[in-house]
Structure 1
Amino acid sequence: MPEMIFRVRWPDGAESDCYSPSLVVRDHLVPGTDYPVTAFLARAEAALTEASVRVQARYGFPCRRALGQLQAIRETCGRFAADGAARVRVVSFH
């Protein structure tokens, strides 16, 4: 399966590289787009859950790395959830 790294910029200006075991992220996120934190989280959850399911279908087990990445995204989004104006930018795909 082709892997993908997607770079995001958090509302505080910090950037993170996020891992996906599948290119399915392209179906849920668009580089150069800003998303409200809750919308970004929903899209990331959908993408990484789908990616993990694809790994499970192919190899017989879910992708722990994708699920770990999703947990890290949830935790980071939680720091900004109270700010309704906070946005996450998808910087790029690699």
Structure 2
Amino acid sequence: MPEVRFQVQWSDGTKSLCYSPSSVIKKYFTPNTDYDLDDFVSRSRTALLIASDRVQAKYGRPCGLALGQIAEIEANSTKYKDLLAPKVRFIQFIE
């Protein structure tokens, strides 16, 4: 499975480098695109759970890094929940 890193920018300008153990993440995001915060979190959760499930199917256990990345994205998102129309910019995939 090809690992993919991806970079996002939160509503306050902070950038994060994120990890997916699978290229499935590419089906859920487009570089240089803004996503509503809730949509970004939902897409991330879906894609990273699929990626983790693929790791489990191949290696017999879910991907701890993917599950950790979901937790990190969800934790970061709470900082921006109170903003009016918070956005996350999906900057790029890094392979």
**What interval of TM-score do these two structures reach, taking the shorter chain for normalisation?**
over 0.9
State the one-letter code of the partner of 2:26: R
User: Does the residue aligned with 2:6 lie in a helix, a strand or coil?
Assistant: strand
Q: 2:48 matched to 1:48?
A: yes
Look up the match of 2:79.
79
Shift of 1:81: 1.3
Deviations 1:41-89 (A, max 9, x none): 0000001000000000000000000000110000001111122411000
- Structure 1 position 88 matched with structure 2 position 88: yes
Name the CA distance, whole Å, in 2 between partners of 1:60 and 1:84. 42
Structure 1 residue identity aligned to 2:83: D
Q: Which ranges of structure 2 fall in alignment gaps of 5 or more residues?
A: none
Matched, 1:30 2:25: no
Runs ≥4 residues deviating over 6 A: none
User: Which residue is equivalent to 2:14?
Assistant: 14
Structure 2 SS opposite 1:92? strand
Q: Given the two structures, how large is their TM-score scaled by the length of structure 1?
A: 0.97
Please provide the CA RMSD for this pair: 0.7
**Paired residue total:** 94
Q: What residue ranges of structure 1 are gaps of 5+ in the alignment? A: none
User: Identity of paired residues, percent?
Assistant: 45
- TM-score with structure 2 length normalisation? 0.96
